[in-house]
Chains A and B, each alone.
Chain A
């Protein structure tokens, strides 16, 4: 009983992955398992469906989840406690500046200004004018869908007719 209640109060940090369930986020939690023969830890992955009615979690987000006192559905057993890191605008916690890989955005901008744009250049990408993240989801970016091999030729009008997630 105690172990169960402890497990319920436990929080997991995981990464959101693609799934096909509505109103939920599929979270991949990485755990380390001890191999007693080799005395080494090996990663093992567990998947949970967390309740996310507004569908704010996108593929690649890092979230904190907690087990629900009662299952919402057969699959949805957890709830999203907190969004830790949103995919996209990564911020350095010490300076509070936006980061891309190992550099600050300001540094990259400064460097670009030093060289200057070429003749007839469109100017490249501008963060300030960019729309909020996810504007290409379902248009040209299908990372939120689970990819599969096309298995049937559906009639026009069917929701799976010419499905972009099928390759």
Chain B
């Protein structure tokens, strides 16, 4: 991010090379202010002014990109869904799987996933996930089985949302499903912590706490936080520098101290007064000789 001062105001601009856009006062026009260049043309203005006194010290706020609530990054999906093999049989034909060798190729294709509906693909995916996590062969109601099936549903709906983002009905449905799953995950964590950890690892879900609903993302508050972080860093840096400087002074100080103490001891000895100080290096030698 770079900045440009214009008409006494500073505008933050995305990207490396800045596009300075300000008020249209004076002789300058918007087009004159744009820096012409291929890499610059697509850059857009952030839409918020920065505080000049802060930008001078290098404190620049970068607003995080908006991520919709249904997005895998928000819902905590760490794995992209893998479509099932199209040669596999549909779930309703599975009991007759042994007879498939007897039928001709066209029938085999018709009974496989190749020409099946999307819901048939979903059933197969759910079955695959359930095989990994279910308690017994008829289990589809335990809490982990429900979470597994909801995860498949969420990942499929998210894939659809990327294709058509304006489908509001699907989006609401997806959001409901995500909320339901997170509620179940919290419940499972409270009741059976070990199983929850195993499940989260198996399904590759990132479980994180909800943010404070009253919390707002604003330039003012974010800049305050950044100033606090800057102050903390500066404090640590200066303390480390001061400590280093003191460490460097330590050796000459000790040397000077020893010399001074020795001088005092020698002067007191020459005057015939009992010695009131002990020289650090000599004291140990004396004590050693006494011990011997």
Residues of A within 8 A of B (CB): 18, 60, 87-90, 100-101, 108, 111-122, 124-125, 127, 130, 133-136, 139-143, 145-153, 164-167
Across the interface, do B136 and A149 meet the contact criterion of CB distance under 8 Å?
A: no
Measured between alpha carbons, how far is A164 from B208 in the docked complex, in Å? 7
Using a Cβ cutoff of 8 Å, how many contacts connect chains A and B?
134
Partner of B64, one of A119, A136, A152: A152
Asked whether, in the complex, the Cβ of A116 is within 8 Å of the Cβ of B200, the reply is: no
Enumerate chain B residues within 8 angstroms of A121, measured Cβ to Cβ.
Answer: 131-132, 134, 137
A140 touches B131 (CB 8 A): no
Is B208 in contact with A147, judged by CB distance below 8 angstroms?
yes
If the complex has contacts A115-B138, A141-B200, are A88 and B192 also in contact, measured as CB distance less than 8 A?
yes
Tell me if B215 and A148 are in contact (CB < 8 A): yes
Chain A contacts of B194 at CB under 8 A?
Answer: 88-89, 125, 127, 130, 133
**Lowest 4 CB-CB distances: which A-B pairs, in order?**
A118-B137, A147-B209, A88-B193, A115-B136
Q: Are A149 and B217 in contact (CB under 8 A)?
A: yes
A105 to chain B minimum Cβ distance, whole angstroms, is: 9
Give B186's nearest chain A residue, CB to CB. Answer: A143
- Asked if B41 CB lies within 8 Å of chain A CBs, one says no
| Nearest B residue to A111, CB-CB | B136
Q: Are the C-beta atoms of A142 and B144 separated by less than 8 Å?
A: no
Provide 13 A-B residue pairs closer than 8 Å at the C-beta atoms, listed in order of the A residue.
Answer: A60-B190, A100-B192, A119-B137, A121-B137, A124-B144, A125-B133, A125-B135, A133-B193, A145-B208, A145-B209, A148-B215, A152-B62, A152-B225
Decide if B162 is an interface residue (CB 8 Å cutoff).
no
Given contacts A116-B136, A122-B133, A165-B209, contact A151 B196 (CB under 8 A): no
Q: A140-B201, A141-B197 are in contact. List 9 more A-B contacts (CB 8 A).
A: A116-B136, A121-B137, A124-B144, A125-B133, A130-B194, A146-B209, A150-B64, A151-B64, A167-B211
Known: A115-B136, A136-B197. A151 touches B217 (CB 8 A): yes
Picked from B136, B190, B200, B221, the residue with its CB within 8 Å of the CB of A136 is: B200
The residues of B that contact A167 with a CB separation of less than 8 Å are: 74, 208, 210-211
Complex CA distance for A164 and B189, rounded to whole angstroms: 18
B residues 171-211 near A (Cβ < 8 Å) are: 189-201, 204-211
- The docked-state distance in angstroms from the alpha carbon of A18 to that of B208 is 11
- Which residues of chain B are near A117, meaning CB under 8 Å? 136-137
B221 touches A148 (CB 8 A): no
Q: How far is the CA of A115 from the CA of B134 in the complex (A)?
A: 12
Indicate the member of B135, B196, B211, B225 with the most A CB atoms within 10 Å.
B135
- Given the complex, which residues of A lie within 8 Å of B206, measured CB to CB? 140, 142, 164
Minimum Cβ distance to chain B for residue A8 (Å): 32
Query: Can you name the residue of chain B whose Cβ is closest to the Cβ of A102?
Result: B191
